Protein backbone atom coordinates (compact mmCIF):
# COMPACT_ATOMS: atom_id res chain seq x y z
CA UNK A 1 0.00 0.00 0.00
CA UNK A 2 1.22 3.48 -0.89
CA UNK A 3 0.77 6.21 1.69
CA UNK A 4 1.07 9.91 0.93
CA UNK A 5 1.36 12.53 3.63
CA UNK A 6 -0.45 15.28 1.82
CA UNK A 7 -0.96 19.02 2.27
CA UNK A 8 -3.86 20.06 0.02
CA UNK A 9 -2.66 23.69 0.09
CA UNK A 10 0.69 22.75 -1.46
CA UNK A 11 0.90 22.64 -5.27
CA UNK A 12 3.72 20.06 -5.20
CA UNK A 13 1.68 17.84 -2.92
CA UNK A 14 -1.40 18.18 -5.15
CA UNK A 15 0.72 17.23 -8.19
CA UNK A 16 2.06 14.17 -6.36
CA UNK A 17 -1.48 13.11 -5.48
CA UNK A 18 -2.50 13.44 -9.15
CA UNK A 19 0.55 11.39 -10.09
CA UNK A 20 -0.59 8.62 -7.74
CA UNK A 21 -4.15 8.78 -9.09
CA UNK A 22 -2.80 8.43 -12.63
CA UNK A 23 -0.67 5.45 -11.57
CA UNK A 24 -3.87 3.45 -10.92
CA UNK A 25 -2.24 1.98 -7.81
CA UNK A 26 -3.96 1.78 -4.46
CA UNK A 27 -2.95 4.50 -2.01
CA UNK A 28 -3.96 6.14 1.24
CA UNK A 29 -3.94 9.91 1.76
CA UNK A 30 -3.05 11.35 5.15
CA UNK A 31 -3.88 15.04 5.51
CA UNK A 32 -1.45 15.61 8.36
CA UNK A 33 -2.42 19.27 8.76
CA UNK A 34 -6.01 18.37 9.57
CA UNK A 35 -5.37 15.04 11.33
CA UNK A 36 -2.17 16.04 13.07
CA UNK A 37 0.93 13.90 13.32
CA UNK A 38 2.44 12.20 16.32
CA UNK A 39 6.02 12.08 17.48
CA UNK A 40 6.01 8.32 16.86
CA UNK A 41 4.73 8.76 13.29
CA UNK A 42 7.42 11.33 12.55
CA UNK A 43 10.15 9.13 13.99
CA UNK A 44 8.98 6.21 11.83
CA UNK A 45 8.90 8.46 8.75
CA UNK A 46 12.43 9.69 9.46
CA UNK A 47 13.68 6.10 9.75
CA UNK A 48 12.10 5.25 6.40
CA UNK A 49 13.45 8.43 4.79
CA UNK A 50 16.87 7.76 6.35
CA UNK A 51 17.34 11.44 7.21
CA UNK A 52 17.74 13.57 10.32
CA UNK A 53 14.78 15.58 11.60
CA UNK A 54 16.26 18.91 10.49
CA UNK A 55 16.32 17.62 6.90
CA UNK A 56 12.53 17.27 7.02
CA UNK A 57 11.99 20.85 8.21
CA UNK A 58 10.88 23.58 5.81
CA UNK A 59 13.43 26.08 7.14
CA UNK A 60 12.15 28.89 4.92
CA UNK A 61 8.76 28.95 6.65
CA UNK A 62 8.09 32.09 8.70
CA UNK A 63 7.43 30.10 11.89
CA UNK A 64 10.86 28.45 11.67
CA UNK A 65 12.67 31.69 10.86
CA UNK A 66 10.93 33.64 13.62
CA UNK A 67 11.02 31.09 16.44
CA UNK A 68 13.68 28.46 15.80
CA UNK A 69 16.27 29.56 13.23
CA UNK A 70 18.94 30.68 15.69
CA UNK A 71 18.33 27.95 18.26
CA UNK A 72 20.30 24.75 18.67
CA UNK A 73 17.67 22.01 18.96
CA UNK A 74 18.06 18.32 19.64
CA UNK A 75 16.57 15.72 17.32
CA UNK A 76 13.65 15.23 19.73
CA UNK A 77 13.07 18.99 20.00
CA UNK A 78 12.96 19.33 16.21
CA UNK A 79 10.47 16.45 16.01
CA UNK A 80 8.35 18.04 18.75
CA UNK A 81 8.43 21.32 16.82
CA UNK A 82 7.14 19.59 13.67
CA UNK A 83 4.38 17.92 15.72
CA UNK A 84 3.37 21.32 17.07
CA UNK A 85 3.72 23.04 13.68
CA UNK A 86 3.08 20.39 11.01
CA UNK A 87 3.26 23.00 8.25
CA UNK A 88 7.03 22.85 8.80
CA UNK A 89 7.17 19.30 7.40
CA UNK A 90 8.56 18.87 3.88
CA UNK A 91 5.95 17.52 1.51
CA UNK A 92 4.71 15.39 0.01
CA UNK A 93 6.05 12.30 1.72
CA UNK A 94 5.34 9.06 -0.12
CA UNK A 95 5.81 5.73 1.63
CA UNK A 96 5.66 2.12 0.51
CA UNK A 97 6.52 -0.57 3.05
CA UNK A 98 9.76 0.34 4.78
CA UNK A 99 10.76 2.95 2.18
CA UNK A 100 9.85 6.60 1.89
CA UNK A 101 10.82 9.68 -0.06
CA UNK A 102 9.94 13.32 -0.40
CA UNK A 103 8.06 13.41 -3.70
CA UNK A 104 9.79 16.32 -5.38
CA UNK A 105 10.15 16.37 -8.24
CA UNK A 106 7.10 14.16 -8.68
CA UNK A 107 8.92 11.84 -11.07
CA UNK A 108 10.92 10.70 -8.06
CA UNK A 109 7.81 8.86 -6.90
CA UNK A 110 8.47 6.28 -9.62
CA UNK A 111 11.51 5.15 -7.61
CA UNK A 112 9.26 3.90 -4.82
CA UNK A 113 6.03 2.77 -6.47
In sequence order, what are the beta bridge partners of 102? 93
Alpha helices in 1-113 (DSSP H): 11-23, 32-35, 39-49, 62-67, 75-84
Active site residue 10: yes
Contacts from 64-69 at CB under 8 Å and sequence distance 24+? 64/88
Length of the chain equals 113
Catalytic residue among 4, 10, 20, 78: 10
Which residues are catalytic, by number?
10
Amino acid sequence: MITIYHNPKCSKSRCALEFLKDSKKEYEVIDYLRKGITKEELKAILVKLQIKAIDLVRTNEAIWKEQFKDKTLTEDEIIATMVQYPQLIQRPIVMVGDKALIGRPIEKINEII
